[in-house]
Structure 1
């Protein structure tokens, strides 16, 4: 088999365009794991192990998961052109500020719901076509593209290319529906096949194959990136979804698309896998560093409150703990969290602002909103 037909082949269709028909996984000839790939694979495995371990040791690992999921959701949606930022999402969730871009925010909020739904389902359902359809339905619920069969594999031909381009001048045309269904069945078999293959290589192959099949009319990029998260958790490589791989894909966006296309055009699986493994390594390293920063910051801020606020530090520490899950608050939120009167809640916020822990972000005299800025800064790109 020539390397060109290794991933599949372009077949002319009745409309005179060529669609790509992927071969089943694993590739043939099989993946050549050279010295360089072994080294990156080993680094990525170690980095993921460290990330998992660093959060295991925490008194409250969920504190990381909360923000990591939101960061991944924002970045994955930004790759598709969504403009919402992490701050927009947190403000929206805190019901603090009316958003300027409700449509973009809805897309990210759906992504968060999809992650949570998928992780819950993984307790009794393997990563499968059924799960992928469920996830897609959640992802596309009520947002752009929601009129295009959410949760259903396409029954018509789709294509990828510049806005307004036709099938004949598309950058890439995925398989027609019949071949698409065959390719999806093959992908599911590959996911469930117990033949030994390094887990990260299997996940890298599965992601690329999913994007090549492109089984939905919209939302394929986000669904394919979610697939990476679910496979990492299903394989117990990570106990929690702590990897924002979209950060790497967004940073190297052109290369990401070029590497996927080179698999189709030239059967170049190896360079795609090296790119993918480098991303896992880089992002796992960064996530571990973030975890360490937060742990030391948490302790530092606790000490600061104890040293500076004396007898009143109990309420401040309760508030501080809650800020890791809701880093944006109004006086009313603080009233609820600590059961304080409005004036006392207001005073507590003022004291936290004086210590540099909270910062007013609305510039309003009334209905003011405050952010736990040092914590949010850790997640800035």
Structure 2
């Protein structure tokens, strides 16, 4: 058993080792040095300016709609899709093709999942229920639709090169039972008093979600969606104008 502040690497009966993340917040306080605090201050200022833009535009929803689609394209490209922004706009135009290509469908679903989640966080808090609902929208009718969309996994998953097995995986998330415990703690943390500046909390939660990997497919896209939902839920962003996938894709 190897210990780390983020979690524990535990040997399983089947012979592989799975990572069991520790609940948030970290028991050992994060060391926010002067450089980090300065960068955090600059990021807060930049996000504040970005959020303020939406209040000065004559038609903010039209402007935001393009940002959402750009984020959808970039986030989906991280997962290997090849659809472009032009493909999405063509589909949404009156001359849309009858048969929707898989790559385009995945990006369209991302847009739908984003819009669905932004509407729902005005009706109920961020929760495991809402995460499952959004995941169902994300995976509806696309690759991975047969991997229990809208429900947390009941089997072990792993991360690695295409075709790899458990014993050659790059990373193995917690087994199903430990995964459900970790997601329960994750939900509690989303509703708890903040321990660190909000952007730090956002980064911690993104790391935690990706480490838990609660779904059989779509975890990366879902994790990136949660960043936007969390910032909007906490009213740091008035509109979803921040597309972090540009950074993640680099």
Alpha-carbon spacing, 1:100–1:134, altered in 2? closer, same or farther (3 Å) = closer
Distance 1:66 1:90, change over 3 A: same
* TM-fit CA distance, 1:196: 4.1
Match of 2:229 in 1: 230
Q: Deviations over 1:222-260 (max 9, x none)?
A: 000000000010000001111110011001xxxxxxxxx
Q: Structure 2 CA distance, aligned partners of 1:225 and 1:240?
A: 16
Tell me, in whole angstroms, the C-alpha distance in 2 between the residues paired with 1:11 and 1:95. Answer: 54
Q: Is the 8 A contact 1:154 1:177 kept in 2?
A: yes
Q: 8 Å contact 1:92–1:99 — kept in the other structure?
A: no
Aligned to 1:50: 49
Is residue 201 of structure 2 the alignment partner of residue 202 of structure 1?
yes
For 1:122, the equivalent position in structure 2 comes to 121
CA contact (8 A) 1:11 1:21 kept: yes
Unaligned runs of 5+ in 1: 252-381
Distance between the aligned counterparts of 2:210 and 2:60, measured in 1?
A: 32
Higher mean alpha-carbon deviation, 57-66 vs 198-207, is at 57-66
Greater RCO (CA < 8 Å, at least 6 residues apart):
2
Contact 2:16 2:166 in 1 (8 A): yes
Between Structure 1 and Structure 2, the one with more helix by share is: 1
Q: Secondary structure at the match of 1:189?
A: helix
For structure 2, the residue ranges without an aligned partner over 5 or more in a row are none
| Partner SS state of residue 132, structure 2 | helix
Indicate if the aligned counterparts of 2:54 and 2:238 stay in contact, CA closer than 8 A: no
The answer to whether the 8 A contact 2:194-2:201 is kept is no
Could you give the per-residue CA deviations for residues 165-195 of structure 1, whole angstroms, max 9, x where no partner exists? Answer: 1001100000000100111011111110014
> Residues 20 and 175 of structure 1 are in contact (CA less than 8 Å); yes or no, is this contact kept in structure 2?
yes
Contact 2:118 2:229 in 1 (8 A): yes
* 2: CA distance, partners of 1:44 / 1:92: 35
State the 4+ residue runs in structure 1 displaced beyond 6 angstroms.
none
In structure 2, what is the equivalent of residue 30 of structure 1? Answer: 29
Q: Following TM superposition, by how much is the alpha carbon of 1:40 offset from its aligned partner in structure 2, in angstroms?
A: 1.1
Residue 72 of structure 1 pairs with residue 71 of structure 2: yes
Q: Is the 8 A contact 1:92 1:98 kept in 2?
A: yes
What is residue 177 of structure 2 aligned with on the other side? 178
Q: Is the 8 A contact 1:110 1:140 kept in 2?
A: yes
Equivalent position of 2:131 in the other structure: 132
Is the radius of gyration larger for structure 1 or structure 2? Answer: 1
CA contact (8 A) 1:84 1:104 kept: yes
Number of equivalences:
249
**Cα distance in 2 for residues equivalent to 1:101 and 1:141:** 13
Write the distance in 1 (CA, Å) between the matches of 2:163 and 2:27.
Answer: 36
Mapped contact 1:159–1:173 kept (Cα < 8 A): yes
Taking the TM superposition and a 5 Å limit, the aligned residue runs for 1:240-259 are 240-251=239-250
| 1:103 has 2:102 as partner | yes
Give the TM-score taking structure 1 as reference length: 0.64
Does residue 155 (structure 1) correspond to residue 159 (structure 2)? The answer is: no
